[in-house]
Structure 1
Amino acid sequence: MHTFTVAERDVTRAWVAACNKLDHKDNPGRTGLHTVVRIADPTSDDAAFRAELDRLRTARGLWPLETVASTLFPTALAARCAGPEDLTERYRRMYPVLKRYPGNERGTYFGRLVSYPAASKTAIDQLGTVISRLRTQAAGTKIAAAYEIDMAAATDTEQGHGSELLTHAAGKDNGYIGFPCLSHISLQLDRDRRVHAAALYRSHYMFERAYGNYLGLGRLLAYIARQAELACGTLTVVAGHARLDGPITQLRPLLTGTSRLAA
């Protein structure tokens, strides 16, 4: 079993460290199980590095990293909203249209936050609930760990291989592969009024999704903290199965910092 734990100060360094941990001669599949990536400041990354990575991704026909990040947190929309309630209302109005886009048929991650498909058929606004609970607890007893967000739901059914066990779910989940690979987000409040997040992925593709996911999760965490009048803490991402996909020969110069990528 190949596994690793890395801890870095920003998104770029954390992603590079994780990829390099997977790219070893004794790991020909470039895969890992139960990998852990901890990012001290998940709101920060190297813009020049991101541009280089995006250039290679575009050449491979992949979405820009900003698009990947927006599936977890729609930064532009949030900037135009008065607060979490307004953001939830606007996103819910947009959601049916967003689901028509290729790859979104079963929803988006942020859609699961603000319109969770509960068994009662009444969609749940998890985002607003978490922010309210954090704000209340920060002003009172400061319970550290009682702030959970689920992504997987009973409507997720797809044929495939593998299995998973969810430790916190609002519904019954039968999906094996595909959306949602992100299963759960757990938030913790520390004594210094900082909010930390731990995200659990059943599968994580490092080139195709991970960098954009780190960005989106960091922005989501920062928004939750800001709306609860708290400080943004660390982001920890656990992947049940991680894989360094993509054009490895072209990726290595970027991972080692020896030269620019060649498209």
Structure 2
Amino acid sequence: MHTFTVAERDVTRAWVAACNKLDSRDNPQRTGLHTVVRIADPLSDDAAFRAELDRLRTGQGLEPLETIASTLFPSALAARCAGPHELAERYRRMYPVLKRYPGNRRGTYFGRLVSYPAASAAGVDQLGTVIDRLRTQAAGTKMAAAYEIDIAAAEDAVQEVGSELLVHAAGKDNSYRGFPCLSHISFQLGRDRRVHAAALYRSHFMFERAYGNYLGLGRLLAYIAEEAGLDCGTLTVVAGHARLDGPITQLRPLLTGTGRLAA
């Protein structure tokens, strides 16, 4: 089994390190199982590097990295809202329209965070609940690990969502591939008042999705920490199955730092 753990300072360094671990001589399939990527500052990345990666992605017909990041956290909408509860309410109103876009038929990741499938028509606002719990704990006795967002949960577990963020919905998400690959996001509150996050993916395509997912998860973590009156900590991403997809010959100059991507 090919596996690895990398720990880097920012999104760019972490993504490059993970891709290089997958692109090794003893791993001709460029895949890994139970891989771990830890990012110390998930709000930081190299803008020039991201632009180069986006240029190659555009040539392959893929959507911009910002579009992927926004499926996990809609930064522009959040900036226009007074707080997480208004953000959730406005997103829920937009959600039926967003689901009409190609690829969104089963929803978006952020949609699952603010409108998790449940008995109520509006769904469960997990985001606001987790922020409220963190804010309350930060003001009193701190519990380190009681803050989860699942993107995957059984129907009878929905009432316990206050301790986790769910994405995958049992009985609804039955496809072998596609949305949602992200299953669960767990938050830990340190004694230094920093909030750390760990995200679990069943699979992760490094070229197609991972960089944008790292950006979105980092912004989600920072938003939750800020709204709870806390500081942003580290982001850890675990993938059950990771794959270095995409045009590897064109990617390698960027991964090795030997030059710009080929046009």
The verdict on a shared fold, with TM-score over 0.5 as the criterion, is yes
Aligned to 2:99: 99
Aligned to 2:250: 250
Q: Which residue identity lines up with residue 206 of structure 1 in the other structure?
A: M
Is the 2:167–2:182 contact (alpha carbons within 8 Å) kept by the matching residues of 1? no
Shift of 1:171: 5.0
Structure 1 position 210 matched with structure 2 position 230: no
Deviates more, 1:55-64 or 1:115-124: 115-124
**Runs of 4+ with >6 A deviation:** none
Aligned to 2:60: 60
Equivalent pairs counted in the alignment come to 251
- Gapped regions of structure 1 (runs ≥ 5): 156-167
Cα distance in structure 2, aligned partners of 1:249 and 1:169: 34
Q: Which residue identity lines up with residue 32 of structure 1 in the other structure?
A: G
Cα distance in structure 2, aligned partners of 1:151 and 1:111: 10
Structure 1 position 51 matched with structure 2 position 56: no
Cα distance in structure 2, aligned partners of 1:58 and 1:170: 29
Q: After superposition, give the CA deviation of every residue in 1:4-59 in whole Å (9 maximum; x if it has no partner).
A: 00000000000000000000111010000000000000000000000000000000
Cα 1:91–1:23 change in 2 (3 A) is: same
Higher relative helix content: 2
Is the 2:84–2:227 contact (alpha carbons within 8 Å) kept by the matching residues of 1? yes
Aligned to 1:161: none
Shift of 1:227: 0.1
1:128-207 matches, within 5 Å, as: 128-152=128-152, 172-173=170-171, 175=174, 176-207=176-207
With the length of structure 2 as denominator, give the TM-score of the two structures.
0.92
CA RMSD of aligned residues (A): 1.5
Higher relative strand content: 2
Aligned to 1:42: 42
Cα distance in structure 1, aligned partners of 2:167 and 2:80: 31
Structure 1 position 74 matched with structure 2 position 74: yes
Shift of 1:151: 1.0
Q: Which residue identity lines up with residue 220 of structure 1 in the other structure?
A: L
Cα distance in structure 2, aligned partners of 1:214 and 1:24: 22
What fraction of aligned residue pairs are identical, expressed as a percent? Answer: 85
Q: Secondary structure at the match of 2:52?
A: helix
Cα 1:182–1:72 change in 2 (3 A) is: same
Shift of 1:178: 1.4
Cα distance in structure 2, aligned partners of 1:169 and 1:41: 24
With the length of structure 1 as denominator, give the TM-score of the two structures.
0.92
Shift of 1:128: 0.2
Aligned to 2:231: 231
Is the 1:6–1:17 contact (alpha carbons within 8 Å) kept by the matching residues of 2? yes
- Gapped regions of structure 2 (runs ≥ 5): 156-165
